[in-house]
Amino acid sequence: MLDRYRAPRPAQHQQPSVEGLAREQTWPGTWMVFGIFVLVISFWWVGSKTFITYTALGRWFALFAFIGNLLPYKKIGLRFGMERLEWFLFNLLAIGPFLFSLALWLNLEVHGPERLYHIHSNSPYMDVRRHWLENDALPPNTFLGTPADDAATALLLNEHEGHQLLGVSPGCLGYDVISRWEQSKD
């Protein structure tokens, strides 16, 4: 049995590999786990303040998760020392969630002028986004206007103190966001 195996002689050189080899490393896995946490927190926090359907959220995530795989593996993935499957999973679980979360946060934080509504509901626990998803409209409301400055906003808030006040703003990516939600103080 041992006769078939011949150890290479010290002077003998082995042929170099044709394709570069991936290195053993832990940082891609760490970023993938961190990306999943960022995705869950952003989806829960920002997704609940954005007027967007779950189907559209899934499509946006799919776009961002697979966009990194369009980059050439040999020039980028191999340079980072990743195997092909690791490169695919890194784009799916790290790059995709970070880009998706960045887009959600950007849409929430960079928005247009706020439109204020007085919501006609006796429930202090009303979920405006859930109502919008189920009925494709805001809850029964009275449009209060679009205040031009902080003084006009403060005046509207003082007039409707003790009521449920909803502020909706157009986000920079085209999806409206809840910019203000004040429950009744009764």
Give per-residue pLDDT as tens, 93-134. 999 999 999 999 999 999 999 998 988 877 767 788 999 999
Residues 105 and 31 occupy one common structural domain: yes
Chosen domain end from 70, 92, 109: 109
- In the sheet with 115-119, reading across from the earlier edge strand, the strands are 141-145, 115-119, 164-170, 176-182
In a domain, 3, yes or no: no
- The reply to whether 130 and 62 lie within a common domain is no
Q: Which residue has the higher pLDDT, 110 or 78?
A: 110
Asked if the structure places residue 5 within a domain, the reply is no
Q: CA-based diameter of the chain, in Å?
A: 96
- 57 located within any domain: yes
| Digit-coded pLDDT (tens) for 6-47 | 666 666 566 655 555 656 788 999 999 999 999 999 999 999
Predicted local confidence at residue 141, as pLDDT: 87
Same domain, 99 and 137: no
- Averaged pLDDT for residues 175-183: 89
Host H or E run for residue 31: helix 27-45
Range of the domain at 136: 115-182
Domain count, the chain: 2
Q: What is the predicted pLDDT for the residue at 146?
A: 81
pTM of the model: 0.77
Q: Is residue 58 located within the same domain as residue 82? A: yes
Q: Are residues 41 and 105 in the same domain?
A: yes
Q: Quote the pLDDT of residue 79.
A: 87
